[in-house]
């Protein structure tokens, strides 16, 4: 009796199918995690945390999502400008442009963390007057609250 183990070519289509299935499920989860429409996202937001760390008290960091896909903000040192797309709960910011002013080292470090978090943001959640920007794995990168002027 000859029992041979199937070669890698037999397992390749199965593995590829499983990877596609899990990839689609992850994309669906990210969309459900965001689940926010442009109307909820539109407005001015005051950042409270970046990667779980509260902001330094000497800086007010703001994000503004406009109704036509315009994004702007203030890192506490520099002004930010970009555009964004929100489709099916998935958020995509284009390359973020910033002014090039220098500030105290601790504010510059905070700005670097903000820029990295914004580059990795893939979903947005809005709950009442709170905003959370999530990365592709569902990790919370930015926590903000609605500015009183925009709500």
Reading the block at residue 53, the tokens are 């760390």
Give the domain ranges of the chain.
Answer: 32-146
Between 113 and 30, the higher pLDDT residue: 113
Nearest to 50, CA basis, from 149, 148, 131: 131
pLDDT score at 67: 86
For residues 75-95, give the mean pLDDT.
Answer: 94
For residues 2-27, give the mean pLDDT.
Answer: 46
Reading the block at residue 136, the tokens are 């592709």
pLDDT score at 121: 97
Nearest to 114, CA basis, from 32, 45, 36: 45
Domain 32-146 fold is Lipocalin (2.40.128)
Reading the block at residue 149, the tokens are 């002027």
pLDDT band at 148 (very low <50, low <70, confident <90, very high): confident
> For the segment 104-131, what is each residue's pLDDT rounded down to a tens digit?
999 999 999 999 999 999 999 999 899 9
Global confidence as pTM: 0.74
pLDDT beyond 80 at 41: yes
Burial (0-12, 13-18, 19+ Cβ within 10 Å), 75: buried
> Is the Cα torsion angle 45, 31, 87, 117 positive or negative in sign?
positive
pLDDT score at 141: 98
Whole-angstrom Cα distance, residue 84 to residue 138? 19
Computed over every residue of the chain, the mean pLDDT equals 82
pLDDT beyond 60 at 29: no
pLDDT score at 38: 79
Residue recorded with tokens 């037999």: 10
Residues 73 and 79: beta-carbon distance below 8 Å: yes
**Alpha helix (H) residue ranges in 35-144:** 38-41, 105-120
Residue recorded with tokens 């001015």: 44
For residues 27-49, give the mean pLDDT.
Answer: 72
pLDDT beyond 80 at 28: no
């Amino acid at each position: 009796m000859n029992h041979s183990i199937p070669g890698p070519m037999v397992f390749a289509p199965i593995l590829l199918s499983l990877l596609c299935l899990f990839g689609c499920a992850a994309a669906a989860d990210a969309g459900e995690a965001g689940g926010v429409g442009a109307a909820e996202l539109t407005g001015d937001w005051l950042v409270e945390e970046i990667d779980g760390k509260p902001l330094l008290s000497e800086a007010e960091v703001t994000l503004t999502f406009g109704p036509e896909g315009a994004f702007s903000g203030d890192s506490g040192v520099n002004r930010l400008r970009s555009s964004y797309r929100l489709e099916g709960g998935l958020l995509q910011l284009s390359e973020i442009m910033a002014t090039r002013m220098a500030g105290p080292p601790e504010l510059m470090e905070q700005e670097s963390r903000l820029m990295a978090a914004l580059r990795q943001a893939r979903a947005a959640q809005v709950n009442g007057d709170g905003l959370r920007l999530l990365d592709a794995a569902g990790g919370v990168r930015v926590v903000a609250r609605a500015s009183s002027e925009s709500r």
